[in-house]
Amino acid sequence: MAALRSGEQPGRQPRLGEDARRVRPREEAGPTGPRLAAADRDELAELVRRLSVVRGRFILSSGQRADYYVDVRRATLHHRAAPLIGRLIRQLTDDWDYAAVGGLTLGADPVAVAVMHAPGRPIDAFVVRKSVKTHGMQRLIEGAEVTGRRVLVVDDTSTTGASALQAVRAVREAGGEVVGVATVVDRDTGAAAAIQAEGLAYRSVLGLADLGLTAAEPSHTPPIR
């Protein structure tokens, strides 16, 4: 006779789905903070490698040179990758208390929407424009109200952290409280230090090593405006 599990009664058969609930997915530690479901993270890394990594010679917006470009929007707007991103960022920031999520358009927009629609507690989304709209409501921040609320700033990828910090400043000027910054892919080129220097926690789902890449070479090329 098979051994009984704790809490089972003799002769009782587990209900449909009961065994599945007992088996938790394998998890692994994120860069900092809560643990991420390894299966989701591995699948996302594979999708980003396949969809987003473009080989060639590129000058990044920071002025740094690289022999690849990670176009993360090809993943954040993909039907399989987007739900993974939403779930993983929720897991990554599970110990942060926030009511809305958003960042600087365009890269942050699909990330924020993915987080909003991922399973879990209700979270609103907002968009930070690069400049104030000149007509209509003339708003810098669209979507969910941020004034008096705790919010998470997100981005698809970070090189220097400038885009995320622009969004942080906009939220703070609007009266919101930024609890931290989370990105899908960190390029390991200074974003973490820049964001942490502003007194903010910073986390990423993936790093370059997860994509089989190395950091961009230093360059004296002037930044692209």
Q: Which residues are annotated as a binding site for 5-phospho-alpha-D-ribose 1-diphosphate?
A: 129-130, 133, 135, 155-163
Q: Which residues are annotated binding-site positions for orotate? A: 159, 187
- Per the rule left: phi > 0, alpha: psi between -120 and 50, beta: everything else, 115 is alpha
How many Cα atoms are found within 13 Å in the side-chain-facing hemisphere of 153? 29
E strand or H helix at 27: strand 27-29
Q: Which residues are annotated binding-site positions? A: 129-130, 133, 135, 155-163, 187
Do residues 163 and 155 make contact, with C-beta atoms less than 8 angstroms apart?
Answer: yes
- List C-alpha distances in Å: 74 to 29, 107, 219: 26, 10, 26
